[in-house]
Chain A
């Protein structure tokens, strides 16, 4: 320990206060990093989306000066989305995400509820099993299903063996149902955990009060637990919908067909082809705006809920 006995102990807050630059200085490296490698890349998307296309090779050329931005590509992509060749993809993406999210809620809520409130001495074990899929690589979980759903895979063997199918089906050849179920399977752990946290926080005393006031368990659930868990459901839903809108690897893994392409696939194709950079960036900008709208809706509802709870 350093010898500090000859220095008088500090007295009062005023003369020994930390300099005002101390805490911002701690935060500075991280903030600088985020500005250079997070904000600037976002600006780069805009610069490419509003940029020009090199006439010789068809490559996208970014335009960094906002005054010279050219919105034609962006407007064209927007038109394509709303009433053109990208409309089927857009509608398909929205329907996949909505159906998969609904499945996540329907399956995830009972599980989260049971583990949070009714599992007794199994709670820790079940919680560990619940957290496990988080740490299993997403691609591995899809690979596992590709193994099971292939024509000679265990799923077909079981279904044919049980007599439910007359011949093995190819589940991985452009089926929307496979992709939707795959999305639900992939994202459900991300839904259950925030919901579990929210349900865990509900005080037992509230439920006992409800019981004491005469409500049977069904009504206790309907009028106490469910409303209190609404924020948790909303948080979990937003947490899975945002990445689902940008998902492209799930359709690619579970279905090789253009029949199940999502918005993410279009962006991926534009960018990796090398010549569709401007459209790809424009589509990304639109996706960002869409996701931003969802996020704003969520934040506003959280703010409204906090204000209501504070009253």
Chain B
């Protein structure tokens, strides 16, 4: 306090207590209080991120043709409309079945290959291991359009015996999902070191018994997660399916959504998209439950949701 300043104070007033304005500022800027602005901002972001989709889902149940004027609740666009509903419009139905077909096949093919690759890469200590690992990582960072062009050119120029359409789409989907399987398995393989198999072999098990009865069961949670992830990624894929399609029969759900969006679509498109969302959510929730159940059985802490959140590349 500099000498000579004089503050005029009313008698009996406590000068050490903050003024009314000071207290208001303190409440707003209180660093150890609740982060109100951050919380509000986060809620606003989540609303911005999710509300448009919720509105789209709502209008898939619209009784009329509009996608912006609510005209009553109806399952018209799903089932009852005789020509335009998802059930009765052959192009919408075939898009749904094509997507499901490819996603299921991709899941069944890519997961075993990916699990083998993950185990091999985790335990391989030789000279080629580093190069193999880099090769595995490349599909994850390649822009989809580059992969789409690459696969299109190779199936039209070199591997001409493989038709565009379902065969090409299937091969393309497996190609880019293998790396996701490896990434999912990696975390688990890091924890499940060779010691368990070695213990089993010390107790008399053969190599294959150790693999089958010790390693595989320990990896099962990650394998479930990988199955669901491959399914979800494959059914959501747009670019590669679009580049490798060959006419109406091989149009997948996302490609169908894309081609119809700007053409004055009916809410049937919203219905199709909602069905896709439901299928994906079922797959993901199934994986989450499988993960949570095996975690509880093995007594780990933490949450399966955080596990899923860590599956970022």
Contacts and interface: CB of A to CB of B under 8 A. Distances in A.
A60 to B, nearest CB: 8
A136 B253 CA distance: 13
Contacts of B152: 271
Contacts of B68: 147-148, 150, 152-154, 157
Interface string A14-39: 00101010111111111101110111
Contact of B146 (A115, A133, A143, A284): A284
Contacts of A115: 42
A29 B117 contact: yes
Contact of B132 (A22, A31, A124, A153): A31
B188 to A, nearest CB: 15
Contact of B236 (A31, A107, A137, A152): A137
B117 A30 contact: yes
Given A144-B56, A242-B143, A249 B280 contact: no
B161 to A, nearest CB: 13
A62 B158 contact: yes
B42 A246 contact: no
B31 A248 contact: no
A245 B132 contact: no
Contact of A29 (B116, B153, B238): B116
Interface residues of A, number: 104
A218 interface: yes
Nearest to B204: A4
A267 B238 contact: no
A9 B204 contact: yes
Interface residues of B, number: 95
A29 B135 contact: no
Contacts of A267: 145, 149
A146 B259 CA distance: 13
Contacts of A291: 141-143, 146
Contact of B67 (A128, A130, A147): A147
A111 B45 contact: yes
Contacts of B305: 124, 127-128, 131
Which of B135, B141, B151, B236 has the most chain A CB atoms closer than 10 A to its own CB?
B141
A148 B55 contact: yes
Contacts of A128: 305
Contacts of B205: 2, 4
A45 B153 contact: yes
Which of A24, A136, A172 has the most chain B CB atoms closer than 10 A to its own CB?
A136
A136 B273 CA distance: 9
Contacts of B55: 144, 147-148, 154
Nearest to B260: A143
Interface stretch (B10-18, B79-87, B121-129): B121-129
B146 A147 contact: no
Interface string B33-49: 00100110110011011
Contacts of B309: 127, 130-131, 193, 196-197
Contact of B117 (A31, A152, A193): A31
A28 B120 contact: yes
A294 to B, nearest CB: 10
Contacts of B308: 131
B120 A139 contact: no
B184 interface: no
A287 interface: yes
A152 B174 CA distance: 41
Contact of B312 (A148, A157, A193): A193
Contacts of B41: 110-111, 114
Given A118-B35, A137-B277, A42 B150 contact: yes
A139 B146 contact: no
A40 B178 CA distance: 16
Contacts of A5: 204
Interface in A73-129: 107, 110-111, 113-115, 118-119, 124, 126-129
9 nearest A-B residue pairs (beta carbon): A27-B120, A30-B117, A26-B120, A246-B143, A41-B150, A217-B31, A144-B52, A246-B145, A4-B204
8 contacts: A9-B203, A30-B178, A34-B178, A38-B138, A111-B41, A132-B49, A143-B269, A188-B49
Interface of B: 31-32, 35, 38-39, 41-42, 45-46, 48-50, 52-53, 55-56, 59, 66-69, 113-114, 116-117, 119-121, 123-126, 128, 132, 135-136, 138-139, 141-147, 149-154, 157-158, 171-172, 174-175, 178, 182, 201-207, 209, 213, 232, 236, 238-239, 243, 253-254, 257-258, 261-262, 269-270, 273, 276-277, 280-281, 284, 303, 305-306, 308-310, 312-313
